[in-house]
């Protein structure tokens, strides 16, 4: 994952939907090819990566024309993308983490959150909340991707000390 032109990583900066999708496409080694773009991604720097991820069924837009590439990535969106990108299914002997704010998780994201929790990819906060509508920081996104890669055995064990 590249930093910014000034040489900084800015771990606490919110990650956009486009940045995360581009990172996932890169991690998976997908070809960022021309594809049917969303209307709001035409001419965007991540247009081809978003189109490639959409073609693979990894991402969806808010509707058929709108992706929101520069919108902040929300935790439930990130988890849904990760679960689809890595083809994860619920772990047989997984850790089931009942989040204190489960009802706040959008219906379309609940299964993905449950699957990610069963693999230990997401664990929630100290108060037991998942905070599905919270924007993801760059550091959080890298941590979740590293855990997902470990789950599919592409990386050695990751400890987020």
Alpha-carbon distance of 57 to 156, in angstroms, equals 27
Ranked by mean pLDDT, the top range of 4-13, 90-99, 132-141, 144-153 is: 132-141
Write down the domain spans for the chain.
13-72, 74-136
144 vs 87: CA distance, rounded Å: 15
Name 84's Cβ contacts closer than 8 Å, sequence gap at least 6.
57, 58, 59, 112
Burial 103-116, CB ≥16 within 10 A → b, else e: eebeeebeebbbbb
pLDDT, one tens digit per residue, over 105-160 is 999 999 999 999 999 999 889 999 999 999 999 999 999 999 999 988 754 554 55
Please report the pLDDT score of residue 130 as a whole number: 96
Quote the pLDDT of residue 9.
Answer: 82
């Amino acid at each position: 994952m590249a930093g910014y032109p000034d040489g900084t990583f800015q771990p606490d900066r919110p990650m956009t939907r486009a940045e995360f999708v581009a990172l996932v496409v890169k991690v998976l080694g997908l070809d960022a090819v021309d594809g049917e773009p969303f209307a709001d991604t035409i001419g965007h720097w991540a247009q081809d990566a978003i189109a490639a991820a959409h073609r693979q069924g990894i991402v969806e837009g808010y509707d058929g024309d709108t992706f929101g590439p520069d919108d902040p990535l929300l935790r439930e969106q990130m988890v849904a993308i990760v679960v689809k990108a890595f083809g994860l299914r619920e772990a047989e002997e997984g850790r089931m983490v009942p989040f204190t704010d489960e009802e706040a998780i959008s219906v379309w994201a609940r299964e993905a959150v449950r699957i990610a929790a069963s693999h230990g990819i997401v664990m929630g906060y100290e108060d037991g909340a998942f905070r599905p509508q919270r924007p993801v920081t760059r550091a959080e996104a890298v941590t979740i991707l590293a855990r997902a890669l470990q789950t599919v055995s592409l990386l050695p064990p990751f400890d987020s000390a």
